[in-house]
Structure 1
């Protein structure tokens, strides 16, 4: 009987072993599934494994959008106006070009926005060291124009003619050799003109509103200044004419003058009435405190009466 029971139990176990696996889906509980991947020898992380690049494609594919083709007739008028109003550089190119954009300012008389190339702060225009060969069109509101260290060779009468508020022009270190006669004369507000380090041979007529004039290091020579060029400038304070090959002091000089620099010229003599009034020995000229004549072939000791009315003796050779 015991033997029969063992045979039945063995047949039952054999049937359970050779039975097919269940066809239903098996769910695994992740909380109890604690098999360590390191114990499974199914991944080979070889660094030298070769991969067929043709079989792998990695990237992000943008969706294809079917955009309708728009003809020029279908472009709205607003878009055309926006394109036309895009500011241009002085040379007519777009500000998206190689030049750095600056600050936009009101348009000039020519309809061109200037200060994309230059730098404009309020009513002051800085256009230094831009390799310019002519004066660019400036906004009508400009009061101070700095155009130093360029290659400007000529000043036309139209370069500043529309700038009624212009007070200062600085053209230091250009190659200016010619200036039209009416380039500055008609500017009602101009009071400072700086033309240092140029090639100027003739100074045009200037307005009587001038307070500062610097023409140092030019080529004015004997005939570069008109007779009585500074006589009626009643507000002129500073006059610099250094290194111009001048052979005389440009008299008469206005009473308002405070500094006169004439170093390194060819001045050989001074008249007794150059600064003083020989008919009135009580006359004094207290405002003119800075007269420089060093670097000239003049002996100041020969004409002591010429500067007796000054608060200080001019700087120069006394022997």
Structure 2
């Protein structure tokens, strides 16, 4: 049953970075005069209106051509490339953006210091290749590293130590386990905002989260417990996705999610029998497909219900979206739930 309360429709994206990864981020474009045509690799396309971009995607290439020095944005995804040679990048020292996703690149096929020598590189995409460990060394300038859908089971010691500018690390759908991540693995990522380790084989929460982490995505692992003080080191944490794990009331401390910074909490497809305690600032709560039998609005309300009055609308609990379908809960929706969470726009049971 879906109960819509009011007419507001809210859309919360899963990432602070949205849109097609083929698009150059706002502010990075370099439109400078008429492009030279003599240096454009014959296998690729050099758009006249975008002289600093080189499009070599979907060309069935098995090697990277020589990249001209004027190129800042390289799209060479969706090919059959197995190696990344130093020769190909010997003149392209000003690259900012490289998309090498959906190729056949292995760690052995990557030249030793290729990426490190690209001192201006901001975005590196190597999704859907055949990597078995995080490639490196990497340049200190890097801001986004996307390595999803590889075979990565190893993160070399110290590989992130100098990446203070990295804001997004995407390692989802790999083969990471608890031995892949030590307390010092993420230590150097002082400005990391989003960490995605969903769809791996983790049984424990990754240790040593960077202090500035805002978004933590750990869906579809085998995590069954969370240490009591786990989120104390990440005061800005706002979006947590733990769907599809083995969490239960027993393995989760009662107030673990009762944190003022959390706005979106996703705990679907776990083994909860009760709704965990939440903070009044929480706006979205996903608990579908657990083993919850009933919902007691008085018990889960962050404030005593008698203190939640109409004149406290702005200062009361902020929950707007609550999903509880796939449990053992039967309609109707308890009135004390509605009395507590007066900002609710949708309840799904």
1:188 aligns with 2:211: yes
**Which residue is equivalent to 2:291?**
266
Deviation at 1:92, TM superposition (A): 8.5
Q: 2:281 aligns to what SS in structure 1?
A: coil
Corresponding pairs, count: 214
**Which residue is equivalent to 1:146?**
170
Deviation at 1:144, TM superposition (A): 1.2
How far, CA to CA, are the matches of 2:348 and 2:239 in structure 1?
23
Residues 236-260 of structure 1: CA distance to partner in whole angstroms, max 9, x if unpaired? 1110001011111110x22221100
How far, CA to CA, are the matches of 2:141 and 2:200 in structure 1?
23
**Which residue is equivalent to 2:187?**
161
RMSD of the alignment, in Å? 3.2
1:211 aligns with 2:242: no
Q: What pairs with 1:1-319 in structure 2 (closer than 5 Å)?
A: 95-96=110-111, 115-116=135-136, 122-136=142-156, 137-138=159-160, 139-141=162-164, 142-154=166-178, 155-179=181-205, 182-184=207-209, 187-204=210-227, 205-206=230-231, 207-231=234-258, 233-251=259-277, 253-271=278-296, 272-275=298-301, 277-282=304-309, 283-284=312-313, 285=316, 287-301=318-332, 303-310=334-341, 311-312=343-344, 315-317=347-349
Deviation at 1:93, TM superposition (A): 5.2
Extract unaligned runs of 5+ from structure 1: 1-90, 107-113
How far, CA to CA, are the matches of 2:304 and 2:117 in structure 1?
54
How far, CA to CA, are the matches of 2:139 and 2:334 in structure 1?
51
Computing the radius of gyration from Cα coordinates, the structure with the larger value is: 1
Closer, same or farther in 2 for the Cα pair 1:277/1:150, shift >3 Å? same
How far, CA to CA, are the matches of 1:289 and 1:245 in structure 2?
23
| Structure with the larger helix share | 1
Contact kept, 8 Å, 1:144 with 1:166, in 2: the verdict is yes
Q: 1:291 aligns to what SS in structure 2?
A: strand
Q: 1:179 aligns to what SS in structure 2?
A: coil
Extract unaligned runs of 5+ from structure 2: 1-105, 120-133
Q: Relative contact order, CA 8 A, sep 6+: which one is greater?
A: 2
Taking structure 1 as the reference length, what is the TM-score of the superposition? 0.58
Contact kept, 8 Å, 1:118 with 1:127, in 2: the verdict is no
How far, CA to CA, are the matches of 1:213 and 1:300 in structure 2?
28
Q: 2:244 aligns to what SS in structure 1?
A: coil
